[in-house]
Amino acid sequence: MIWHCGRFDFDTSTPIIMGILNMTPDSFSDGGQFADPAAALEHALAMVGEGAAIIDVGGESTRPGSDPVDPEEEWGRIGEVIAALAERELCVSVDTRHAEVAARALAAGASVVNDVSGFRDPAMVEVVRKSGCGCVVMHMAGEPKTMQENPVYEDVVAEVRDYLRDRAAELEAAGIHRSRLCLDPGPGFGKTPRQTIELIRNLHELVHLGYPVMVAASRKSYVGYAYHIDDPKERDVASAAEALLACELGASVVRTHNVALTAAALRDLRPAVLLGLGSNVALVAEPGEETEAKIAQINLAVGSLCSLPDTDIIDMAPFYESEPAYYTDQDSFVNTVVLLRCGLPPKELLAHLHGIENSLGRVRSIENGPRTLDIDILDYQMYVASDDELTLPHPRVAERDFVVKPLLDILPGWELADGTPVASVPESERVGKARRL
């Protein structure tokens, strides 16, 4: 999907790096280091040279326990540098929760507003509504001064996801197009390190909402907790590893202090691969339990996928029951879609998948006919090819209801490697009508 940020449009199919420029005396890891405008501008340009597509400029520390800063003082810290960067045709983000500061930054040429308070202030909503800027909507429990005082969640992943879903819907209702929104789960903002780790390890749940997702792990306390690193300035390598992990789970914007290390880590990001799995022949099933047996066979195949080299399962859609397509004189199917991060070349992966099919009794006597297990490579990120052995993306993805529905459950708005939207064929014209089990 495209993230619209004023005059900048970012393709989120590959990670976008946002470099952090704190012009504050009291930020938790670099307070005072870039308070001087000349030093700040030099550092920002260096980050651009290292791979930052956006520079996020902040004049108020929102570290735990911090005191609020008067908007006039905040603007006095950052205004000159925001204007200087915008004059150089760079994409500038203003990290602020004050509507007055956001308005002045946008007038000076900023293209993104990054609001740690999640646009709670109606005045802030009105400022961005009148602009075409990108909006980073963050989850924070309480205020920076008090947010770390015993944060409690019954289910931190579900609660943060639902908050961001609802907040995004409210912003859309206020007139801000969804293509301008990016969601940030707010690691460390009103969350303990353990809660933050649980949240970041389940980041794909936020991806299901269909917006770009930001990972802002850089030097955060949870990184220190997880990797046993007390000094925030020593957390850059671990932070880059966290960024890579989050991007494999579906994050598309990375906010970081150390752009060079982060860019280097992201070069190891493996392509996203989508597999379609289906079964309509139950080898062993009691009468009335055929559906459960088909599901069990698919689960066996998923277990085998776990053993593939240089491959990790990232997400799996719910199961669907579908009508047979093309060859209709057969039993109904159970289908799902699995998302992988995979370092195997496509044809090598295909050979492994055929081996899994064969191990579960796959028979190929009738084209599109009954089968114990079918695994199709639906899409292999950034790979388009066609020969006698393999065509990618799969040429029938968009016409198959039993593929489209589960795929969009986990990746709303997904476009195939050739640019075709998965939802390009109306549901009424798709074959293999599917219903969620």
Catalytic residues: 220, 255
Sign of CA dihedral 142, 145, 148, 150: negative
Q: At what angle do helices 259-266 and 236-248 cross, to 10 degrees?
A: 40
Which is it for strands 91-95 and 54-58: parallel, antiparallel or unpaired?
parallel
- How many residues are listed for the chain in this entry? 437
For Cα atoms 62, 66, 72, give the angle at the middle one, nearest 5 degrees.
Answer: 70
CB 64 within 8 A of CB 90: no
CA 244/CA 294 separation, integer angstroms: 35
Distance of alpha carbon 380 from alpha carbon 341, whole angstroms: 10
412: exposed, middle or buried (Cβ count in 10 Å: 0-12, 13-18, 19+): middle
Residue 291 region by backbone torsions, left for phi larger than 0, else alpha for psi between -120 and 50, else beta: alpha
**Of 99, 96, 3, 20, nearest in space to 54 by CA:** 20
